[in-house]
């Protein structure tokens, strides 16, 4: 698994959709509930390579959210990713 480190301020900008020059958001996942936590994946492109940035938060809509990014060090390690075509089988009623 290939990884790369980026400056925290660049990754924070991406999570806030304030895309720094040279970066491109390719796909921004929806927040997925996991008990009292939520997480999402952001795929971004930099220098012709794609990377996955995972962000999580805890709390609720009725209170403040606590984002994992508050605990990121000065450099954030992300994973290099590539698109993969996936075939699925679905079932339908016979007519």
Q: Domain coordinates of the chain in residue numbers?
A: 3-81
What is the per-residue pLDDT for 31? 94
Scanning the structure block, which residue is given the tokens 């089988």? 89
What tokens were used for 80?
Answer: 């290099």
CA distance 73 to 76: 6
Predicted confidence (pLDDT) per residue in 16-53, tens digit:
989 999 999 999 999 999 888 899 999 999 999 999 99
What is the per-residue pLDDT for 45? 98
Q: What is the pTM of this model?
A: 0.84
CB atoms under 10 Å from CB of 11, counted, come to 24
What is the per-residue pLDDT for 54? 95
Q: Which of 58, 30, 34, 59 is nearest to 42 (CA)?
A: 30
The string over 62-79, giving b where at least 16 C-beta atoms fall within 10 Å of a residue's C-beta and e elsewhere, is eeeeebebeebeeebebe
């Amino acid at each position: 698994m290939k990884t790369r480190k980026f400056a925290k301020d660049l990754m924070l900008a991406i999570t806030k959709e304030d895309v720094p020059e040279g970066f491109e958001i390719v796909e921004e996942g929806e927040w997925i509930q996991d008990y009292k936590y939520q997480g999402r994946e952001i795929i971004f492109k930099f220098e012709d390579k794609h990377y996955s940035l995972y962000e999580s938060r805890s709390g609720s809509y009725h209170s403040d959210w606590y984002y994992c990014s508050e605990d990121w060090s000065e450099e954030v390690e992300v994973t290099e990713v590539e698109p993969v075509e996936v075939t699925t089988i679905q079932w339908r009623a016979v007519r």
